Amino acid sequence: MEPNTEVQTNKPSPMVIVGGGLILVLLVVFFILMRKPGTNQKIENTQNNQQAVVPTAKPTVARFGKLDISTSTANVTDGQDVIVVISGDSMGKEIVGYDSLIVYDKSALTLQSAKSAIVDFTIFKFDRPSHLSLTAVKNLNSKTPTVLNKTPMVELVFKAVKPGTFSIVLQSDIDKESTKMVDEKTNILYPNLSSVMITVK
Amino acid sequence: MKIKLIILASIAVLASIFLIKYFVSSSQKSKAGENDVTVVVNPVSGTKNLDEFDITYVISSDDQNKKINGVNMTFTANNNLQIISLSQIPKTYPSADDIFTAANEPTINAAKTSLNFAYLTLRPQSELTNSIFFKIRVKGNASGAGTLTLSRVSTEITGILNTTSVLFGISSTSNTDPSFTFNSGSTAPVINFKFDPVTTTVGANIDSAIAVFKIDGLPTGKGLTTFEAIFSFDKNVAEAVNITPSDTVVDKFTEVHKTIDNNIGSIKLTYLAKQVEGMALANNARFDITFKRKSTLTAISTTNTSIDASTATGDITGTNYQINKTNGQLVIHPRTTSSSSSSSRQSSSSSSTVSSSSSSRQSSSSSAARSSSSSSRQSSSAGPTPIVLIKMKLRFQGILTKPYDMTPQNVKINVVKEGESNTGFVETSFDPNYDGTYKGIIDVNPVDYNAKYYIYIKGPKHLQKKFCDALPQLNAQGFYSCGKAKITLHNGQNDFDFSNIKLLAGDLPEQGSVQNEMIDVYDLGIMRQYVPPICDVEGKKQDCTEAEIATYKQPALIVCDINMDNKIDQQDWSLILASMAVKYDEK
């Protein structure tokens, strides 16, 4: 009886072979059918549905990534410094520069400094009548990748000069200026934006 | 037996999943083409020479509920067709809104036979459209047939139908594979022989006017070895009295013919490039041709300044240049009976530009008008509006000597009366001089001779500068800041030398030469992209052949070569960073 058992073990029945092959074929077919257009560098269609029900802050511009403004000094007394950090999320894109428009109450907050938090970026600041305009660009010879993932980009220091509650807002556009990032191919990305509240006592 | 049961059960489960998936997908996708869109291609066939041309693809659906939000396309060029570029990224049709961003940058293989790109939009459904379009630039590379094939297998067109994401199919009736027959005809570049501006007017109160004839439009890096132009005009209404070639013509060419025959109304210009070792060929030419009104004229008359014959040769492969001719028009007004409306300043400038045949009568009559010159007189004159020309000399940042690239530059000019707002502009071509300055001329009408004017000037890659003075100078700190308007204008030609003040570069042109009045991160980004290493093949910067670099550089040079030295390098980068001290157009 033992030799018989060995024969059965070494040579599976044709039904098992056919069944296994069928499973294999079905698995391949199943895998192909389950693939969606969004995979393998193709169009991420699911995002459109999300966007379809959640309009962006500025619906005329497609938003990509995010610039987030935050502070660890939301409550200060008159005369104290308010430190604000703008962080970026470029959703995998290599960023080589950005324009940022910051609107704040100039009678309540006085800008002291604007410093790039990314070492390889040079920042240019322009104190416009209604806002602060920042332009930053990655140094030409930098080899450091700058894919932003909640990466602090710029640190702003204001001095509080008036009591009250004030907002500091990252504005999408003012006149012909806009808040945007560019990638290494000079594709323009318009990020989602945020604001922060400051209370001065 | 147990194993057999498990296998059969697995097969049953998988078969069920397969069937469910099949029914779900078939209900969404392919009910007899329910989710198909139409692709219309233009041109879809034809006979072409071996030059580049665009093929337009319009993807659309009759059903307004079908909204397109993405495409992923793959094309293959067959036989004698080459793919040059995705010349127009997907946009909404017909409104051409720029709503798509690249999910997969256009990629062309080295053989130029395949193109793949993917674009999508994240806009909400309410802002999507049911039609989009894009353009692919192609060319024939030899005589014979060529086809551009859309790969339906790897193409995806996505969108939203009602609230469901769908993958659209392409209708079976769509002809997505345009085919062409290519001739081995001339592919010589087309250059311009033109009168610019087209119309030249000899006003009632002046004797003459200058018509400007230009040769331009040569491909970058190409030059002229010979050219000939023969013009005709009506000898009964005007006579040509002087022809002044530009510095470029004088420096680079030997004059063979520069003849005027007023008996038949004809001008002939024939020039031959000088054979000087190491000297680059000229890529433009300009002639200021002074026409004088016939004294016997009693009514307004018009004559064409027709370019009857023209030839040009250059360092091009194959045949001569093809010439696109733009004839001019000369409008001649008879002299009015009163001579008092001609100003003294006009006569002085006229005598410097018009040949000695300008009569002394003109200057004597104009000096009589000096004391009575006023705007009210101008407006009450029954005659035609006098000509006021503004000739300007400019200096662009970074160009201190004769530029390597002598291409004329388009400059926007606005002459604004003090107290009025700066709206609109005229765009005119400025020719390079050998000291690195550029000169150009515009005419302005109407003019208030008693008013003060500002002149706003914006170069093709530059920030706008406002000028208040005819000869502005830098202050001790090295700046020029325009205060109160001091510029006055007079009849005839007004000369202004603004070359002491550099026009700062950095507002680089985007698509369609649009500038956005500031240097922003786009300008810095595009400059940064093209500073060496200059060659970028399929996303990876690497060493390239000279031919590849030349191909790659052409569009970039037009945008980023600030100092016109025919390369984009650290100097251009430094110049744009220096301009960031100003950033905005001067208003």
For B63-119, what is each residue's pLDDT tens digit? Answer: 888 889 889 999 999 998 989 888 888 988 877 788 888 888 888 887 889 999 988
| Count of C-beta atoms within a 10 Å radius of residue A54 | 8
Query: Which of B100, B156, B524 is best to mutate for the A interface (most A CBs within 10 A)?
Result: B524
pLDDT at B361 over 80: no
User: How many beta-carbon contacts under 8 Å exist across A and B?
Assistant: 158
The pairing of strands B199-202 and B328-332 is parallel
3-class SS at B268? Answer: strand
Per the prediction, chain A carries an average pLDDT of 79
Per the prediction, chain B carries an average pLDDT of 78
Residues in chain B with CB shorter than 8 Å from the CB of A20 are: 7
The predicted model gives A76-96 an average pLDDT of: 95
In this prediction, residue B354 carries a pLDDT of 25
In this prediction, residue B33 carries a pLDDT of 64
pTM of the model: 0.49
Return the residue matching tokens 């909400």. B124
Residues B152/B170, Cβ–Cβ less than 8 Å: yes
The predicted model gives A150-168 an average pLDDT of: 95
DSSP state of B125: G
CA distance B565 to B508: 16
Token pair of B128 as six digits: 């999507």
Chain B, window 494-553: residues with a beta carbon less than 8 angstroms from a chain A beta carbon = 516-522, 524-526, 528-529, 531, 539
Chain B, window 11-70: residues with a beta carbon less than 8 angstroms from a chain A beta carbon = 11, 14-15, 17-18, 21-22, 25, 69-70
Nearest to A23 among B11, B71, B118 (CB): B11
Across the interface, whether the CB atoms of B525 and A30 are under 8 A apart is answered no
Token pair of B159 as six digits: 């969108």
Nearest to B103 among A19, A23, A43 (CB): A43
Across the interface, whether the CB atoms of A48 and B14 are under 8 A apart is answered no
Residues B482/B429, Cβ–Cβ less than 8 Å: no
pLDDT at A162 over 80: yes
Q: Which residues pair with B181 in a beta bridge?
A: B47, B145
In this prediction, residue B542 carries a pLDDT of 53
Tens digits of per-residue pLDDT, B380-389? 333 445 678 8
Going by pLDDT thresholds of 50, 70 and 90, the confidence category of residue A32 is low
φ, ψ for residue B575 (rounded to 5)?
A: -65, -40
Cis peptide before B533 (omega within 30 of 0): yes
Nearest to A188 among B3, B69, B522 (CB): B522
Query: Which of B28, B74, B89, B122 is best to mutate for the A interface (most A CBs within 10 A)?
Result: B122
Highest mean pLDDT: which range of A54-68, A80-94, B330-344, B512-526: A80-94
Q: Which residues pair with B168 in a beta bridge?
A: B157
Inter-axis angle of helices B344-353 and B360-369, nearest 10: 160
How many Cα atoms within 13 Å fall on the side-chain side of residue B374? 5
Across the interface, whether the CB atoms of A189 and B101 are under 8 A apart is answered yes
CA distance B359 to B349: 13
Return the residue matching tokens 């062409």. B180
Token pair of B433 as six digits: 């001089």
In this prediction, residue A157 carries a pLDDT of 96
CA distance B94 to B89: 14
Across the interface, whether the CB atoms of A56 and B124 are under 8 A apart is answered yes
Token pair of A40 as six digits: 């393998």
Query: Which of A137, A181, A187 is best to mutate for the B interface (most B CBs within 10 A)?
Result: A137
Going by pLDDT thresholds of 50, 70 and 90, the confidence category of residue B454 is very high
pLDDT at A31 over 90: no
Residues in chain B with CB shorter than 8 Å from the CB of A67 are: none
Going by pLDDT thresholds of 50, 70 and 90, the confidence category of residue B349 is very low
Task: Measure in Å the smallest separation between the Cα of B41 and chain A Cα atoms.
Answer: 23
CA distance B449 to B441: 19
Least confident span in B208-212, B217-221, B234-238, B393-397: B217-221
The pairing of strands B328-332 and B409-417 is unpaired
CA distance B136 to B73: 11
Cis peptide before A55 (omega within 30 of 0): no
Tens digits of per-residue pLDDT, A95-122? 999 999 999 999 999 999 999 999 999 9
Dihedral, CA atoms, B224, B225, B226, B227, nearest 10 degrees?
0
Reference B462, options B438, B494, B485; nearest CA is B438
pLDDT at A147 over 70: yes
Instruction: Return the CATH fold of A63-200.
Output: Immunoglobulin-like (2.60.40)
Query: Which of A48, A127, A135 is best to mutate for the B interface (most B CBs within 10 A)?
Result: A48
In this prediction, residue A171 carries a pLDDT of 95
Cis peptide before A37 (omega within 30 of 0): no
One DSSP character per residue, B471-506 reads: S----TTS-----S--B---SEEEEEEEEEEEE-B-
CA distance A21 to B160: 38
Residue B395 Cα distances to B90, B427, B465, B500, B505, angstroms: 39, 17, 11, 7, 11
Going by pLDDT thresholds of 50, 70 and 90, the confidence category of residue A12 is low
Residues in chain A with CB shorter than 8 Å from the CB of B555 are: none
The pairing of strands A177-178 and B409-417 is unpaired
Across the interface, whether the CB atoms of B122 and A49 are under 8 A apart is answered no
Residues B521/A135, Cβ–Cβ less than 8 Å: yes
CA distance A14 to B381: 110
Going by pLDDT thresholds of 50, 70 and 90, the confidence category of residue B208 is confident
Residue B386 or residue A59, greater confidence: B386
Token pair of B545 as six digits: 């052949």
What value does the CA radius of gyration of chain B take, rounded to a whole number of Å? 31
Going by pLDDT thresholds of 50, 70 and 90, the confidence category of residue B154 is confident
Going by pLDDT thresholds of 50, 70 and 90, the confidence category of residue B12 is low
Chain B, window 135-194: residues with a beta carbon less than 8 angstroms from a chain A beta carbon = 156, 158, 160, 163, 165, 167
Going by pLDDT thresholds of 50, 70 and 90, the confidence category of residue A22 is low
CA distance B104 to B360: 71
CA distance B409 to B399: 13
pLDDT at B441 over 50: yes
Going by pLDDT thresholds of 50, 70 and 90, the confidence category of residue A59 is very low
CA distance B25 to B29: 6
CA distance B319 to B315: 10
Nearest CA in chain A to B159: A45
CA distance B157 to A143: 37
Task: Measure in Å the smallest separation between the Cα of A147 and chain B Cα atoms.
Answer: 15
Reference B580, options B499, B524, B536, B508; nearest CA is B524
Token pair of B470 as six digits: 């005819």
Token pair of A33 as six digits: 């059918």
Say which residues have a Cβ less than 8 Å from residue A135's Cβ, sequence separation at least 6: A97, A98, A99, A100, A123, A124, A126, B519, B520, B521, B524, B580, B583
